[in-house]
Amino acid sequence: MPVKSNSRAIGLRDNQLSRLLLSWYDVHAREMPWRVGPQLRLAGLTPDPYQVWLSEIMLQQTTVASVRAYYLRFIARWPTVGDLADAEDRDVMAEWAGLGYYARARNLLKCARVVQREMAGVFPDSYRALLDLPGIGPYTAAAVAAIAYDHPETVVDGNVERVMARYFAVLDTIDIAKPVLVEHARRLTPTHRAGDYAQAVMDLGATVCTPKSPSCGACPWRAGCRAYTQDLVAELPRRKTKTVKPTRYGVAYLAYRSDGAWLLERRADKGLLGGMLGWPGAAWGDEAVEQPPIAADWADPEVEVKHTFTHFHLRLALRVGKVSQGIEPEIGAFLTPNQFQRTDLPTVMRKAYDIASSHAKTHDM
């Protein structure tokens, strides 16, 4: 039978918890290109709010490993918020291609332009003012205020929720327990080294209190952890049963010319893959609809693209056709190899391109 206990009953006070965690972080902090580690921070180096904001926007819905290369390319190309504000939309969308959730890239640009043009290039330091900027929600506002400005804001991502659910043995499913988990996290947030603390809890969740097989033996909070003492670690956090995602179907048309140009269209700014380059075709739905954008001898490479978005699975049939030079399409434009690269495409369109270009090579020979 579960024992009723809490951190105080076991003997760890909130400030002890934050001290233990910060000592652990001083030794075990993950290195990340956007992070000012604890030693440098103690030596007086402060993070660049632009870099913190950029990394946090990229990290929404995406793993640290996937973000690293994108972040480094962005920072090399647009080292300041002013550089990003002056960038061409299409260049930013192309650099973002493959990172997913493209509304983030559109909001990234909007936000950079507001900060540059209305705030003289300086990100605000308060949670409230950050929250007013495009694309910044409660999580990102708290993360930037804490990490960049050391304000004692409570930063709660999936890692932090898991740590709180286990440490305090919260038995409700995460969706119901959220306010309780946030309150636990808020109570533990210290006023001193708040930025390091915010990153430390996330690191603890990402490297020690992991979803599967957490390393409780290496955890600085083990002595007070209720899930550990009650043998509930493997059961927590509890998740809502997942709803089954529907499947949508579509047909993409990949037309190419002998000069290596491909027919692409830029998708409408709003909606899925908004503002990104893509292959023409009818809207995706319960059935695949044939709607070629141009007259061609279309071939079926007999390999479909399978891709999963947040709310649905997609099965995309492909049609590949060679068209003569000089034919003007009604939809989109032919882009030559100097005008577009494979990496400008979002992942689903890239998968289609790989199949079609290999089909074209084989059948043109």
Q: Check if 56 is active-site.
A: yes
* Nearer residue to ligand SF4 within complex by CB, 227 or 254: 227
| Residue 66 CB, nearest approach to ligand SF4 (Å) | 24
Task: Report the nearest approach of ligand SF4 to the CB of residue 23 (Å).
Answer: 15
Q: Which stretch binds ligand SF4 (CB under 6 A): 53-61, 71-79, 162-170, 307-315?
A: 162-170
Complex with ligand SF4: residue 202 or 349, whichever CB lies closer:
202
CA–CA dist 340, 359 (Å, integer)? 19
The residues, ordered by sequence, that sit 6+ positions from 237 with a Cβ below 8 Å of its Cβ are 161, 162, 165, 166, 170, 173, 174, 177
- Which residue in the set 167, 197, 256, 284 belongs to the binding site for ligand SF4 (CB under 6 A)? 167
| Residue 163 near ligand SF4 by CB under 6 A | yes
CA pair distance 296, 81, nearest whole angstrom: 45
Closer to ligand SF4 by CB, 106 or 166: give it. 166
In terms of CB distance, is 233 or 331 closer to ligand SF4? 233
Among the listed residues 31, 56, 235, 330, the single catalytic one is: 56
Q: Specify the residue, 225 or 316, whose C-beta has the smaller distance to ligand SF4.
A: 225
Q: Which stretch binds ligand SF4 (CB under 6 A): 72-80, 135-143, 163-171, 350-358?
A: 163-171
Per-residue b/e over 197-213, b at no fewer than 16 CB within 10 Å? bbbbbbbbbbebbeeee
193-252 residues near ligand SF4, rule: CB under 6 A: 208-209, 214, 216, 219, 221-222, 225, 227-228, 233
With binding defined as CB under 6 A, does residue 294 bind ligand SF4? no
Residue 322, number of CB atoms within 10 A of its CB = 15
DSSP 143-186: HHHHHHH--------HHHHHHHHHHTT--SBHHHHHHHHHHHHH
How many of the chain's residues bind ligand SF4 (CB under 6 A)? 14
Write down the least CB distance from residue 221 to ligand SF4, Å.
5
In DSSP terms, which residues pair with 315 in a beta bridge? 249, 306
Produce one character per residue of 96-130: b if its CB has 16 or more CB atoms within 10 Å, e if not: bbbbbbbebbbebbebbbbbbeeeeeebbeebeeb
Separation CA 142–CA 292 (nearest Å) = 47
Q: How far is the CB of 197 from ligand SF4 (least distance, A)?
A: 15
Q: Measured from the CB of residue 219, what is the shortest distance to ligand SF4 in angstroms? A: 3
Q: How far is CA 121 from CA 8, 21, 80, 115, in A?
A: 45, 34, 8, 5
Q: Quick check: 25 binds ligand SF4 (CB under 6 A)?
A: no
Which sign does the torsion angle of CA 64, 114, 129, 50 carry?
A: positive
For ligand SF4, the closer of residues 198 and 227 by Cβ is: 227
Catalytic residue positions?
Answer: 56
- Residues found near ligand SF4 in the complex (CB under 6 A): 163, 166-167, 208-209, 214, 216, 219, 221-222, 225, 227-228, 233
